[in-house]
Structure 1
Amino acid sequence: MTKKVMAVVAVLMFGLAVSCGGGSSSSGTTGTADCTSVSGQALVCGTVTAADLTPVVGAEVKNTTSGAGTAMPGYYKGLPDGVSKSVEKSTTTTCLTDANGSFACEAGTASGSYTFSVTMTGFSLTFASDLTLDSTTAVPAADTTATGANITAKWLVITGSWDGVQLLLSQMKGCTLTGSESVPEDMTGSAACEAVNLVVQDASLASTTFSDIANLTPYNSIFINCGTDMSAYSTVIQEYVAAGNNIYFSDLSDPGVTAAFPDKVTYGTGSTTTGTVTANADNADLQTYLGKTTVDIDFNLGSWMPIASVASGVTTFVSGDTSSLGGTVGAPITVGWTQDAKGCVFYTSYHIETGGSATADQAKVLKYLILNAESVCE
């Protein structure tokens, strides 16, 4: 996966995105779309989300009225001192969606009908709007809410003994899997989900699928559910990430992380128990999206894998005091990093076991990181 210039602009200019390689935790000043009328301009504003309303972050909005697409200035507030309201890079102006998926773009100097595109790696959407000079026009949410076809990234899920990240993915894609949402770990693929590039594969097939990198190249991201040991496939996993793709590991799939990426994450050795902790959202964009700095994390299985520490260059997205449950004070809970400036690797100690409510903090955090890997992991 090629990392886009637009996302880099967001990092350097106003903190829309936070680097995965930025140390033990992520921070920064987040600019938000400023939908205020500009004299002599027709401003278009809206919010881009997946089907389940997870925001699409760092995507570029272009004016396609007169052709393939023209970059537009974007307007933001809450920027660091010295950064202009209209964010520019060299002679090119770009309008990017902010941490909430919102945008405010300078579309033109005349009233009329316009068409637009919204793009980032693995995502493409178009919409139209009638704009008025010296005014702002809010695009209806229905026009900028993605369907499964808009999320063009192809995702592969490897099932596990526990966890069911496939449910979260299906909610973002807007498709229905086979099985009950009350038991997400048992949910399997469906024709509807495969039609929008979500494939769920039983772990028993891993020896065939991971026998050759050619079998993995069609997929932008791979998700390993809790309880599946992928350590035997460390070499092909390394090749997959080196090609610029992303991989996500959940809880007791940790042997695959250790085998493929040794020394990145050190895991705890003590016994664990069930319970809920109030954890910290350590990423500025996550805080903006959630509207708070803490998240409730439910460790609903007695045996889970705590993180003891992470190496330099690994970003902690969620951390907390899990000492009462067998972890440590200030323990990393959800982490990620860019591997050799190529693809991203994510690991989370918690997972989705009991229905994957779209409003639950822990589900919202994972969805945000999954959909916006390009923005949070540079």
Structure 2
Amino acid sequence: MKNFNLLLIFIILLSFGSCRSDSEIPAEITIDNTIKTGKLTGKVMSQNGTKPIGGASVFTFDEKYKIYYTTSDADGNFTLEAPAGNQRIHIQTGDGSNFRTQIAATVKNNETVNLNADQTKLNQVAKIAYVKGTYDKIEDIIQTLGYNATEITNADLANINTIAQYDIIFLNCGSRNYSVNQSLYPAIDANLAVFVANGGSIYASDWDVSYLVGGTDNTSNCSLAGGFVPDTKLCSKNTGTSGIVAATVNNAGLSTALGFNTVNIDFDLSSWQKITNYDPAYWEVLVKETSSNNALMIRTNHFTATGIPSTPIGNAPNSTFTTVCITLPGNIQISISVPTITVPYLVALGATVGPCSGSTNSGYIYYTSFHNHASGNIGNAGVILQYVILNL
């Protein structure tokens, strides 16, 4: 009888299970791993809102620190695909250490949100100085973009405590000349070496190649006394003649930022510095003569020297940002500045601390054989000088 009762209970339980409807059977749980994204569009403009800026980096990160990245075109326009939600958007030029903007934006899933012009202005975070020249006024272009620069003198260049306040120094053509107390030059050369080796950036034009390789108003021979760049790295001679020189933009990033790859440069002076020899492993050629391939615009961030003291330069000691190198799909490497607190997470994903190329601590040296004229006339080459300013 006991066995019969157990059998009856089993049959009853089985009948209950067979009466359950399909709707009562638990469904298989599906997890949606698709990241919801939307788009942000905008126009990168200079700080005063008057000039569009091409070649600017625009990016953000998702919660796992994956980067979403794009660049502005020659007219400053960009479209960034980003994760849906509240995001921190970064806009930068160069490696972001001198010019950058951060904005908060809400990205809507599968929608496009337009950022207004006030949000996408590129801000100056660098402290900028310039030395007044005779044939060149780069400060005019800086001011046209809405940025600020402080005039300093050669006597200031001879004082490391003075120039260490700045992140960028512009050396206008003709500022290093025979009327300057030449006893200052050894201190100037030594200080510029300290400045660049510790992350400061400089731009010199035409005759002011003498700050780099020695000499004064102009250099007519290689290996002159003075300067701080090794003589084996660069030679420039004062052999250029006046006239229009057809030039080619030799750097893809610069060409994209400008929107053109050929330009006629007006050399309005009777003579100018021709780059006659340079170390291609040390210098990158950005613009060259079309007919002869002679370099007209070069840059490097490979400067190193022994015995140079570690000296805090500009904003770097107080910055909450760090320069890192990130590799994008297609093995494209970009140097950007990110909040320092994010660095460990980005390194865990493969980023490296420091720029993607050059020496870790070196700032940039830009040199152009051309410049804006004393009258301000430079034609299309003016936008090349804007690029120089914003990418130091």
Matched, 1:199 2:150: yes
* Greater RCO (Cα-Cα under 8 Å, separation 6 or more): 1
Residue in 2 that maps onto 1:365:
384
Residue in 2 that maps onto 1:336:
299
Unaligned 5+ residue runs, structure 2? Answer: 1-33, 178-184, 214-226, 305-358
Unaligned 5+ residue runs, structure 1? Answer: 1-37, 63-70, 74-90, 176-192, 323-328, 374-378
**Deviation of the 1:72 alpha carbon:** 3.8
Map 1:313-352 onto structure 2 (within 5 A): 313-321=282-290, 329-338=292-301, 339-340=303-304, 341=359, 342-352=362-372
**Deviation of the 1:246 alpha carbon:** 0.5
Map 1:1-378 onto structure 2 (within 5 A): 40-51=36-47, 52-55=50-53, 57=55, 59=57, 61-62=59-60, 71-72=61-62, 92-98=65-71, 100=73, 103-109=78-84, 116-118=89-91, 120-129=96-105, 131-146=107-122, 150-172=123-145, 174=146, 193=148, 198-201=149-152, 205-207=153-155, 209-229=156-176, 231-232=185-186, 233-258=188-213, 259-261=227-229, 262-270=231-239, 272-312=240-280, 313-321=282-290, 329-338=292-301, 339-340=303-304, 341=359, 342-353=362-373, 355-356=375-376, 360-373=379-392
**Conservation of the 8 A alpha-carbon contact between 1:117 and 1:127:** yes
**Deviation of the 1:321 alpha carbon:** 4.8
Percent identity over the alignment? Answer: 24
Amino acid aligned to 1:200:
E
**Deviation of the 1:354 alpha carbon:** 5.0
TM-score by length of 2: 0.62
**Deviation of the 1:248 alpha carbon:** 0.8
Amino acid aligned to 1:137:
V
Residue in 2 that maps onto 1:5:
none
Amino acid aligned to 2:232:
D
Distance in 2 (CA, whole Å) between partners of 1:357 and 1:55 is 20
**Conservation of the 8 A alpha-carbon contact between 2:84 and 2:106:** no
TM-score by length of 1: 0.64
Aligned length: 272
Instruction: Give a deviation string over 1:97-125, Cα, whole Å, max 9, x none.
Output: 42535554444445xx7664545212342
**Conservation of the 8 A alpha-carbon contact between 2:39 and 2:79:** yes
What SS class does the counterpart of residue 286 from structure 1 fall into? Answer: helix
Greater C-alpha radius of gyration: 2
Distance in 2 (CA, whole Å) between partners of 1:41 and 1:269 is 56
